[in-house]
Amino acid sequence: MKERIERLKKLTYIPQKEIAWLIEQAELSVKQQAIIEENKRQQEVTVLQFRQAQKDIQQLSGDRKRYKQALEKIITNLNFAITVAQNELEGDGK
């Protein structure tokens, strides 16, 4: 393609066939540029979605940790209540 372009640069008159080829190449270039721009846009969207997913995972991990701590406290309190109840029952039985 470079050779053909260099040859065309040297011509003072460009035949219709060569003009059609140049137009075709320009149209292809425009299409390629549009595809490149669309790919860049899709990459940006993907990066944003990935970052949002990372934030969501971090938030869910934090929520999980808080729920686990709360559940552990509830279990500890229930175990304590069970122990108190057992002690009371044993005290009534003596």
Is 3 within the bounds of a domain? no
For residue 83, being part of any structural domain is answered with yes
In a domain, 70, yes or no: yes
In a domain, 8, yes or no: no
Q: What is the mean pLDDT of residues 17-38?
A: 92
Domain extent, residue 44, equals 15-93
The whole-model pTM stands at 0.55
Q: What is the pLDDT confidence band of residue 93, given thresholds at 50, 70 and 90?
A: low
Give the mean model confidence (pLDDT) for residues 64-92. Answer: 93
Please check whether residue 8 is in contact with residue 22, taking contact to mean a CB–CB distance below 8 angstroms. Answer: yes
| Dist CA 85 CA 71 (whole Å) | 21
Average the pLDDT over 62-69 and give the result.
93
Q: Is 31 exposed, middle or buried (0-12, 13-18, 19+ CB in 10 A)?
A: exposed
With respect to residue 31, please indicate whether it lies within any of the assigned structural domains. yes
Q: What is the pLDDT of the chain when averaged over all its residues? A: 90
**Residue entry with tokens 């050779």:** 3
Q: Are 22 and 16 spatial neighbours (Cβ–Cβ below 8 Å)?
A: no
Q: Are 56 and 46 in contact (CB under 8 A)?
A: no
If one counts the domains in the chain, the total is: 1
